[in-house]
């Protein structure tokens, strides 16, 4: 194996939710090749045989599909990594479980796979008593199994590259001592040096990943990590998706890691901007301008927004995508519209003047854009957007009705009602009610919502 292994750039299919289809993945490979990326990691959490049923091999039909996926990946000049997540119920001292892991990898070797990964993320932070008796820590047990699999794989595939995802895979988890005290230090000492380690940054979804953060981690892990970047992941909040640019990372980060891989939105068609701006970040030089890259990517994406009647305007696509930007921020035009709406609603309608008309025009235009997405010729793109576009459309429609009602002087003192946004049917459901109980604050604390009901109406606590 080369002394300077390939710097990995690419995509992880590693989210919770419906795995992508083979058609999605083939298009992904085209996007990746066109953006200069080189690696695809297969590890969808809800592929039953990736995680819940990791001991079971693929059926002949499943194996054939996996073999074709590996070949398609290679036809596009991409490295294929196969990930397995046994951590939910593995017995680290079990010879049977170790043989099951080898059997799974042997099946993939026969299908042409050469690179492998063991994932120990999102698992119970405890050990079976028998495992604890043999290994003094979770980290030591995981390293022992991983080292054994690595050496076994290398005997069969000398150029194989091997990867490991730790149980505490971000700074916050490490600070909370998830996996036990000194977990990362143990991994740094015990895991064979040629095995790469994944890391998501300071947080699971990191707003920023700095060079200094990674430099400190290098000392602990005794190697450069590979960034598993969840910036565009949306599996933790199905109401949202993220179509903003790759941001919050400087190009200098590339020199501090062994690779950068993104784990993006569950809905494959919504990943165009994430992928293409990520590619531009990796291929370019000089200071990184995320907004400029974003606008260029949206321009390239626009042709997919042809409707049965005409092409949707780029200006409208920008504002719509700005409403689905990044986890910690909206895009500039969406932020500006929200600010104007908030200012109006917090102002006495008698003082609105002509401002309401201008805001209403922008609200109506965005609302109508959401409706027109139903006419997209690219149906998978519409289906990916459908529920989110409808939800945004309903909120905009409600706001427009409110502004229209309050713009009439006679209605200034009157309460506003909408025949189309009734309690229970609008913003209803158990999740919405539960969300009203605790309100997150800017300092990361969560406070009980001040009740607006008569607590005497409830039975006493028992």
Instruction: Please give the positions annotated as active site.
Output: 122
In the structure encoding, which two tokens stand for residue 402, read together?
A: 């409110």
Locate tokens 């409600």: which residue?
398
Phi-psi group of 50: left, alpha or beta (phi > 0 → left; psi -120 to 50 → alpha; rest → beta): alpha
The length of the chain in residues reads 462
Locate tokens 């290994």: which residue?
135
- HEC string of 67-99 equals HHHHHHHHHCCCEEEEEECCCCCCCCCCHHHHH
In DSSP terms, which residues pair with 326 in a beta bridge? 329
Locate tokens 């799974």: which residue?
104
Neighbours of 173 (CB within 10 A): 20
Quickly list DSSP for 112-128: T--EEEEE--S--S---
Is the Cβ–Cβ distance between 269 and 380 less than 8 Å? yes
Which of 120, 44, 55 lies closest to 82 in space, CA to CA?
A: 44
Half-sphere exposure of 213 (CA within 13 A, CB side): 21
In DSSP terms, which residues pair with 82 in a beta bridge? 42, 116
Q: Give the separation between CA 147 and CA 276, rounded to whole angstroms.
A: 36
Is the Cβ–Cβ distance between 232 and 242 less than 8 Å? yes
**88 Cα distance to chain centroid:** 21
In the structure encoding, which two tokens stand for residue 247, read together?
A: 């941001």
Q: Give the separation between CA 362 and CA 359, rounded to whole angstroms.
A: 5
Is the Cβ–Cβ distance between 384 and 268 less than 8 Å? yes
For CA atoms 399, 402, 408, 409, give the dihedral sign. Answer: negative
Residue 377 CB burial class (10 angstroms; 0-12, 13-18, ≥19): exposed
Neighbours of 303 (CB within 10 A): 9
Coil, strand or helix: which one is 109? helix
Alpha helix (H) residue ranges in 327-414: 332-345, 355-372, 379-406
Which of 313, 318, 314, 312 lies closest to 336 in space, CA to CA?
A: 318
């Amino acid at each position: 194996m080369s002394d300077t292994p390939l710097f990995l750039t690419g995509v992880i299919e590693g989210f919770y939710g419906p795995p992508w289809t083979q058609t999605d993945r083939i298009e992904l490979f085209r996007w990746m090749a066109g953006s200069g990326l080189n690696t695809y990691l297969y590890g969808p959490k809800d592929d039953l045989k990736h995680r819940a049923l990791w001991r079971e091999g693929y059926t002949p039909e499943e194996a054939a599909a996996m073999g074709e996926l590996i070949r398609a990946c290679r036809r596009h000049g991409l490295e294929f990594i196969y990930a397995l997540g046994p951590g939910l119920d593995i017995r680290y001292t079990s010879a049977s479980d170790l043989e099951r892991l080898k059997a799974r990898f042997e099946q993939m070797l026969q299908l042409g796979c050469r690179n492998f990964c063991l994932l120990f993320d999102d698992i119970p932070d405890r050990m079976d008593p028998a495992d604890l008796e043999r290994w003094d820590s979770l980290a030591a047990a995981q390293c022992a199994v991983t080292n054994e699999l690595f050496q076994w794989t290398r005997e069969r595939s000398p150029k194989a590259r091997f990867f490991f995802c730790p149980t505490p895979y971000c700074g916050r988890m490490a600070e909370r001592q998830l996996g036990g005290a000194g977990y990362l230090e143990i991994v740094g000492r015990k895991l064979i040096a040629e095995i790469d380690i994944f890391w998501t940054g300071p947080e699971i979804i990191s707003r920023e990943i700095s060079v200094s953060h990674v430099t400190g981690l290098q000392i602990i892990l005794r190697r450069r990590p590979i960034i598993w970047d969840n910036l565009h992941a949306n599996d933790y909040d199905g109401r949202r998706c993220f179509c903003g640019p790759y941001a919050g990372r400087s190009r200098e980060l590339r020199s501090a890691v062994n690779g950068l891989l993104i784990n993006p939105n569950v809905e494959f068609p919504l990943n165009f901007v994430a992928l293409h701006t990520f590619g531009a970040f990796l291929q370019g030089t000089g200071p990184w301008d995320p907004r400029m890259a974003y606008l260029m990517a949206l321009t390239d994406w626009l042709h997919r927004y042809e409707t049965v009647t005409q092409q949707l305007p780029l200006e409208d696509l920008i504002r719509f995508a700005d409403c689905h930007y990044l986890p910690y921020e909206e895009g500039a035009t969406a932020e500006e519209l929200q600010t104007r709406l908030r200012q109006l609603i917090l102002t006495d309608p008698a003082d609105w003047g002509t401002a309401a008309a201008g805001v209403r025009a922008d609200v109506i235009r965005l609302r109508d854009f959401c409706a027109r997405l139903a006419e997209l010729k690219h149906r998978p793109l519409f289906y990916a957007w459908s529920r989110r576009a409808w939800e945004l459309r309903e909120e905009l429609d409600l706001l427009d009705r409110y502004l229209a009602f309050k713009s009439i002087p006679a209605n200034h003192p009157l309460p506003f009602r909408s025949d189309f946004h009734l309690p229970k049917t609008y913003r209803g459901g158990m999740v919405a009610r539960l969300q009203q109980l605790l309100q997150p604050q800017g300092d990361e604390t969560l406070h009980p919502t001040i009740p607006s009901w008569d607590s005497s109406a409830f039975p006493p606590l028992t």
